[in-house]
């Protein structure tokens, strides 16, 4: 695999460097540590042949690993949906990333700011397939400017151009250090003891770690009493939103080093923000009267500005979660327990995004459905014995099928009526008076706006399938113990499974989706194992059962985030419309 090749590359580089310096590989890492601790690096150069060029970092292992295809956590380009590094973010290492990769992170046409490691370059492309106009960045950028705000559909990331200089600096530093050690009879361990003091015994190290941990825990507990969080000011301000807003201002001032300015939501960008902002972190801050006064002024000035994500934490999404879930069941994408119906997949894949749908379009039935309610209302009025009798309007799914709808369409339309509040779960109209006059049809609406959630729901399901395919399952000969095969026959079975690509040479399952969709008749096995096909398949299915139960189902937590973000945006838009 790619990771294995990268590991082999790293091991080879370590071996080559150790051979060149004539040191043991453990001594090499000691030399790295000594160089990192040298306070005179880049301040004093005693060697005339030393290539004197300040490296980007003094972390020797990071310099050594540069260019190997393995990157540290700090070696990442980070792009953000909002200005000033706000909103959803996505990280990239050197490479080319088209529109499909963006959909799994920040989304298409959403990038407004980015952070670029020193020496790296990032080029944004306006259109997919790296087409259209471009713009290149080499530093952290709080705003990509109007000409490129929210239009990027491709990214090309290039690593540092100073890798060779840094690696040359490291190599020559190591050459100088090892030459000096050999001339004066020092070993890396001896130098390390001189620099750091005598090493502790294993027992002393354990005791020291326990003491340090106890000290840090005591410090943590003492700080926790004074930390602030999003709800700290709730009682003082008398409002949860105000408390969260005040905390965001403080976090922006002390944490992100910039003022909090909510990005204005653009109604035309229907798919722009499907992810909530990053979770708040607890903060510690010093009391500075002038800064607090400035924050208070900003709080008063900006409190009236509402952002489209401010309603996410109000638990308004439960109804929408159930609606999305019901529609996925009705469209036979998942079953009632949330498991993905793999038998409805084509070649173990979801259909294309263009063919994927989670709702039917009932807009053409608005008038007919309203007239149905009106007719039932009139029948109820005519059936009254007394003028004061209560009028009840009840609709059944069978009434909807009379309009020429299929069973699944009628079921979803009935659920839409419940979701939109026209009827309760038993079919009784919630507002009977609405159907007393045909003029009420103008305000009758069967849409649910679930269509705009198609992309995030599709990618959620796609991620679950990808996680299942990527998970590793290793089998052992013991899973076939119930077959009671002789050792030779058991080995033949293992080899036959390898030959037919059920498992690889290391006993890992090659294609779990294949096993999910397999049945005894379709199994590719040697003739001698035909009598055991059912037991063999059951053993393989049992082996992948845990991974299947974990990944081949809708993630309710992530579905909740999608629903919460959508509801929050809808509330925001309703408020904007007055």
Same domain, 484 and 536: yes
The pLDDT-based confidence of 261 (bands split at 50, 70, 90) is very low
User: How many structural domains is the chain composed of?
Assistant: 5
The pLDDT-based confidence of 286 (bands split at 50, 70, 90) is low
50 within some domain: yes
Same domain, 256 and 300: yes
Q: What is the pLDDT of residue 65?
A: 73
The pLDDT-based confidence of 259 (bands split at 50, 70, 90) is very low
Residue 159 structure tokens: 């690593």
565 burial type by CB count under 10 A (0-12 exposed, 13-18 middle, 19+ buried): buried
Q: What is the pLDDT of residue 267?
A: 36
344 within some domain: no
Last residue of a domain, one of 159, 182, 208: 159
The pLDDT-based confidence of 524 (bands split at 50, 70, 90) is very high
The pLDDT-based confidence of 42 (bands split at 50, 70, 90) is low
Same domain, 56 and 187: yes
- Averaging pLDDT over each range in 87-91, 205-209, 230-234, 312-316, which range is the top one? 87-91
Same domain, 36 and 154: no
62 within some domain: yes
Q: What is the pLDDT of residue 316?
A: 87
Residue, of 53 and 208, whose pLDDT is higher: 208
Identify the CATH number of the domain in which residue 130 sits.
2.60.20.10
Same domain, 9 and 24: yes
Q: What is the pLDDT of residue 258?
A: 40
The pLDDT-based confidence of 264 (bands split at 50, 70, 90) is very low
Q: What is the pLDDT of residue 271?
A: 31
Same domain, 153 and 113: yes
367 within some domain: yes
- 80-89: pLDDT as tens digits: 998 888 888 9
* CA nearest neighbour of 16 among 213, 131, 174: 174
331 within some domain: no
354 within some domain: no
- Arithmetic mean of pLDDT over the chain: 82
Percent of the chain with pLDDT over 70: 84
Q: Do the beta carbons of residue 510 and residue 503 sit within 8 Å?
A: yes
Q: What is the pLDDT of residue 255?
A: 59
Identify the CATH number of the domain in which residue 415 sits.
1.10.10
- 349-386: pLDDT as tens digits: 999 999 999 999 998 999 999 999 999 999 999 888 88
301 within some domain: yes
Same domain, 87 and 133: yes
Dist. CA 352–CA 47, nearest whole Å: 63
The mean per-residue pLDDT over the stretch 85-98 comes to 87
The pLDDT-based confidence of 338 (bands split at 50, 70, 90) is very high
Find the domain containing 140 and state its range: 77-159
In residues, how long is the chain?
A: 578
| DSSP character string of 157-181 | EE--TTHHHHHHHHHHHHHHHHHHH
Same domain, 474 and 545: yes
The pLDDT-based confidence of 263 (bands split at 50, 70, 90) is very low
Q: What is the pLDDT of residue 67?
A: 58
Same domain, 390 and 241: no
254 burial type by CB count under 10 A (0-12 exposed, 13-18 middle, 19+ buried): middle
- 157-191: pLDDT as tens digits: 887 655 667 778 788 888 888 888 887 777 888 77
Last residue of a domain, one of 413, 447, 481: 447
With a CB cutoff of 8 Å and minimum separation 6, the contacts of 313 are 244, 564
The pLDDT-based confidence of 230 (bands split at 50, 70, 90) is confident
Last residue of a domain, one of 172, 196, 220: 196
Same domain, 136 and 151: yes
- 501-515: pLDDT as tens digits: 999 999 999 999 999
Dist. CA 104–CA 180, nearest whole Å: 52
The pLDDT-based confidence of 275 (bands split at 50, 70, 90) is very low
The mean per-residue pLDDT over the stretch 482-492 comes to 93
Same domain, 480 and 539: yes
Residue 70 structure tokens: 């393995």
The distance from CA 293 to its chain's CA centroid, rounded to whole angstroms, is 38
Same domain, 486 and 513: yes
Dist. CA 516–CA 135, nearest whole Å: 46
Lowest mean pLDDT among 237-251, 389-403, 405-419: 237-251
The pLDDT-based confidence of 293 (bands split at 50, 70, 90) is confident
226 within some domain: no
The pLDDT-based confidence of 36 (bands split at 50, 70, 90) is confident
């Amino acid at each position: 695999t790619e990771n294995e090749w990268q590991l082999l590359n790293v091991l080879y580089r370590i071996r080559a460097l150790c051979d060149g310096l004539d040191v043991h590989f453990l001594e090499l890492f000691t030399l790295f540590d000594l160089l990192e601790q040298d306070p005179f690096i880049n301040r004093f150069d005693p060697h005339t042949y030393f290539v004197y060029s300040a490296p980007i970092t003094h972390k020797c292992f990071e310099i050594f690993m540069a260019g190997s295809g393995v990157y540290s956590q700090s070696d990442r380009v980070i792009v953000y949906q909002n200005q000033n590094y706000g909103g959803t973010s996505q990280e990239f290492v050197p490479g080319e990333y088209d529109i499909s990769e963006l959909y799994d992170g920040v989304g298409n046409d959403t990038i407004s700011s980015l952070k670029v490691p020193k020496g790296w370059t990032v080029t944004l492309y306006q259109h997919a397939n790296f087409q259209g106009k471009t713009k290149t960045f080499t530093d952290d950028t709080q705003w990509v400017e109007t000409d490129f705000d929210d239009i990027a559909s491709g990214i090309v990331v290039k690593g540092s151009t100073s890798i060779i200089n840094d690696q040359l600096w490291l190599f020559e530093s190591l050459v100088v250090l090892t030459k000096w050690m050999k001339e004066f009879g020092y070993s890396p361990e001896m130098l390390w003891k001189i620099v750091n003091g005598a090493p502790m015994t294993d027992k002393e190290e354990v005791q020291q770690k326990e003491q340090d941990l106890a000290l840090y825990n005591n410090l943590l507990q003492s700080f926790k009493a004074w930390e602030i969080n999003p709800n700290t000011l709730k009682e003082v301000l008398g409002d949860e939103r105000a408390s969260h807003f005040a905390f965001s201002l403080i976090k922006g001032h002390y944490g992100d080093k910039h003022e909090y300015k909510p990005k204005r939501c653009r109604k035309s960008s229907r798919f722009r923000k499907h992810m909530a902002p990053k979770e708040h972190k607890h903060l510690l801050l010093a009391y500075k009267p002038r800064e607090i006064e400035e924050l208070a002024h900003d709080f008063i000035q900006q409190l009236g500005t509402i952002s489209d994500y401010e309603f996410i934490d109000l638990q308004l999404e439960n109804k929408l979660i159930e609606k999305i879930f019901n529609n996925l069941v009705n469209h036979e994408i998942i079953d009632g327990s949330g498991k993905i119906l793999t038998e409805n997949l084509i070649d173990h894949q979801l259909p294309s995004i263009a063919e994927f749908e989670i709702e039917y379009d009932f807009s053409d039935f608005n008038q007919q459905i309203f007239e149905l309610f009106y007719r039932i209302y009139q029948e109820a009025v005519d059936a009254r014995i007394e003028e004061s009798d209560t009028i009840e309007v009840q609709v059944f799914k069978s009434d909807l099928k009379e309009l020429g709808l299929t069973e699944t369409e009628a079921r979803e339309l009935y659920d839409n009526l419940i979701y939109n509040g026209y009827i309760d779960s038993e079919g009784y109209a919630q507002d009977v008076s609405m159907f007393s006059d045909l003029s009420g049809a103008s305000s009758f609406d069967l849409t649910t706006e679930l269509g705009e959630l198609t992309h995030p729901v599709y990618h959620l399901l796609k991620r679950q399938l990808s996680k299942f395919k990527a998970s590793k399952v290793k089998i052992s000969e013991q899973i076939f113990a119930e077959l009671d095969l002789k050792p030779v026959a058991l080995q033949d079975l293992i080899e036959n499974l390898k030959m037919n690509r059920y498992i690889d040479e290391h006993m890992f399952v090659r294609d779990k989706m294949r096993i999910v969709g397999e049945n005894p008749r379709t199994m590719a096995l040697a003739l001698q194992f035909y009598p055991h096909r059912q037991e063999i398949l059951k053993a393989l299915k049992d082996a992948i059962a845990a991974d299947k139960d974990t990944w081949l189902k809708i993630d309710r937590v992530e579905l909740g985030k999608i629903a919460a973000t959508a509801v929050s945006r809808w509330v925001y838009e309703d408020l904007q419309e007055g």
